């Protein structure tokens, strides 16, 4: 077989042992990672975990307490924000209220000393890119939230930054618009080929848009990987819990065999499943996602009896809560046929899951 190795990816941003303390409050513990060229990279984590702080250090608005940040291989530690080839889409958009949209978009280009003709052409291009060419001479106050969002994007993309930083740019929009803007952002990133560093606390958004996700929690990196990695192979309980929904069952580790573990769980079964950071005799949990549990049970899987105690019909899916021998399990079942008969609360059922779908996580 001819395995073509992927070309070695160029690093757009290198974060080396960067930490940040405000006074004696440690907002971010030392973290190290690289962001590659042309990547849609997402910083994901709960509120207060240091996402904005990290982004502001890349932009130059905060100085790291320790460590270094390099942009395309050059240390930018000593550069003030206006000398870094990085642009930001602010959460509040921060459009200049005294300038027209055109002037807003042209602002960065003027400061970079672009000649007038090239500038005008670029502004027109950018406004067209975000479908706002008709509004060029309006002021930001005359725009809707989604339109402001687009102008903020156009303004930040116009100077062709090496990296574009986006701090929760969708959080101020309503649900419908947020969905539409996700696709638009993703398309923009592909069209422009600019590295996007996107901050969000919405895991669905992160999974949907990103090439790679860095999950931050408690001021440190919990996991860094592709959306699939992070959803399917969470490296600890925090990630399994934060990304998507899951069931946690206490697990007693009987034996370890490399990256697999044999555990016994409260359902009265012993099983062998992939593990991370488990230790024999140590505390561990088994994580199984609701959609990976079969209802009714399938042959060849680990099966158990249970009673349905809750059912939520959601159109495409029905979410069940099942009491299995005192353990509460959440189960998500796709309604694959029209008017699939829903199971009733109180009904006895048999459910099952494959050991391969479970993950043993040490804590």
Partner 1 sequence: MNQRLRLPSWNVLGLLPAQLIMLLTLIIPVGIIILVSFSTRGPYGGFDYVFTTAPYKQILFNEGWSGELEFNPQYLIVVARTVILSLATTIICLALSFPVAYFISLQKTSAKMLLIYLVTLPFWVSMIVRVYSWIIILGNDGVIAKALRALGITNNIGSLLFTDTAMLIGLVYSYIPLMILPVFASIEKLDPALVEASHDLYGSRLTTLRRVILPLCRPGMVAGAILVFVPCLGAVLEPVLLGGGKTMMMGNLIQLQFGAARNWPLGAAISIVLMCAVMIFLLWRGIHAMRKEGRENGA
Ligand X SMILES: Nc1ncnc2c1ncn2[C@@H]1O[C@H](COP(=O)(O)OP(=O)(O)OP(=O)(O)O)[C@@H](O)[C@H]1O
One of 53, 88, 195, 357 touching partner 1 (CB under 8 A): 88
Q: Which of residues 143-162 bind partner 1 (CB under 8 A)?
A: 155-156, 159
Nearer Cβ to Mg ion (91/327): 91
What number of other Cβ atoms are within 10 A of residue 74's Cβ? 11
Question: Measured between alpha carbons, how far is 298 from 302 in angstroms, rounded to an integer?
Answer: 9
**For residue 119, what are the contacts with CB-CB under 8 A and spacing of at least 6?**
106, 109, 110
Task: Please choose which of Mg ion, partner 1, ligand X, none residue 155 contacts, taking the beta carbon within 5 to 8 angstroms, the exact cut-off set by kind.
Answer: partner 1
Considering only the stretches 20-28, 105-113, 273-281, 328-336, report the one whose residues sit in contact with ligand X under the rule CB under 6 A. 20-28
**Exposure string (b/e) for 292-324, b if CB count within 10 Å is 16 or more?**
bbbbebeeebbbbebebeebeeeeeebbbbbeb
In the block, tokens 């479908």 appear at: 131
Residue 96 near partner 1 by CB under 8 A: yes
One of 94, 172, 177, 256 touching partner 1 (CB under 8 A): 94
Q: Of all helices (H) and strands (E), which one includes residue 352? A: strand 348-353
One of 34, 36, 70, 90 touching partner 1 (CB under 8 A): 90
Residue 195 near partner 1 by CB under 8 A: no
**Exposure string (b/e) for 260-279, b if CB count within 10 Å is 16 or more?**
ebbbebebeeebbbbbbebe
Considering only the stretches 26-34, 44-52, 61-69, 252-260, report the one whose residues sit in contact with Mg ion under the rule CB under 5 A. 44-52
Sequence length of the chain is 363
In the block, tokens 């307490």 appear at: 65
Nearer Cβ to partner 1 (83/190): 83
Task: Describe the strand order of the beta sheet including 74-75 as a list of residue ranges.
Answer: 25-36, 11-22, 66-71, 74-75
Residue 268 near ligand X by CB under 6 A: no
Distances (CA, A) of 58 to 16, 63, 161: 12, 9, 13
The interface mask with ligand X, positions 195-224, x = CB under 6 A, is: ------x-----------------------
One of 142, 144, 191, 298 touching partner 1 (CB under 8 A): 142
**Chain residues that interact with Mg ion, rule: CB under 5 A:** 52
**Chain residues that interact with partner 1, rule: CB under 8 A:** 59-61, 80-83, 86-88, 90, 92, 94-98, 107-108, 111-112, 138-139, 141-142, 155-156, 159
């Amino acid at each position: 077989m001819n395995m073509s190795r992927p070309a070695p990816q160029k690093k757009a941003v290198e974060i080396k042992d960067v930490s940040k303390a405000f006074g004696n409050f440690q907002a971010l513990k030392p973290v190290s990672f690289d962001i590659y060229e042309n990547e849609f990279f997402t910083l994901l984590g709960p509120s207060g975990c240091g996402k904005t702080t990290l982004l502001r250090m890349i932009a130059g608005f905060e100085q790291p307490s320790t460590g270094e940040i390099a942009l395309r291989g050059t240390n930018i530690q000593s550069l003030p924000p206006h000398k870094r080839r990085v642009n930001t889409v602010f959460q509040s958009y921060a459009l200049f209220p005294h300038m027209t949209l055109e002037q807003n978009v042209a602002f960065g280009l003027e400061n970079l000393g672009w000649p007038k003709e090239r500038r005008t052409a670029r502004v027109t291009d950018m406004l067209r890119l975000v479908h706002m060419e008709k509004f060029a001479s309006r002021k930001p106050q005359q725009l809707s939230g989604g339109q402001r969002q687009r102008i903020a994007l156009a303004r930040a993309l116009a100077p062709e930054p090496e990296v574009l930083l986006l701090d929760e740019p969708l959080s101020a929009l309503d649900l419908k618009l947020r969905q539409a803007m996700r696709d638009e952002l993703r398309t923009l990133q592909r069209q422009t080929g600019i590295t996007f560093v996107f901050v969000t606390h919405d895991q669905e958004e992160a999974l949907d848009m990103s090439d790679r996700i860095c999950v931050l929690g408690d001021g440190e990196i919990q996991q860094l990987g592709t959306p699939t990695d992070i959803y399917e192979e969470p490296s600890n309980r925090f990630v399994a819990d934060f990304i998507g929904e899951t069931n946690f069952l206490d697990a007693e580790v009987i034996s370890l065999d490399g990256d697999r573990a044999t555990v016994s769980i409260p359902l009265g079964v012993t099983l062998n499943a992939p593990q991370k950071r488990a230790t024999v005799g140590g505390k561990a949990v088994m994580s199984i996602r609701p959609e990976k549990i079969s209802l009714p049970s399938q042959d060849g899987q680990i099966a158990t009896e249970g009673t349905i105690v809750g059912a939520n019909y959601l159109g495409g899916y029905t979410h069940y809560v099942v009491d299995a021998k005192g353990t509460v399990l959440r189960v998500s079942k796709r309604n694959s046929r029209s008017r699939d008969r829903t199971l009733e609360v109180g009904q006895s059922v048999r459910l099952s899951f494959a050991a391969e779908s479970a993950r043993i996580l040490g804590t």
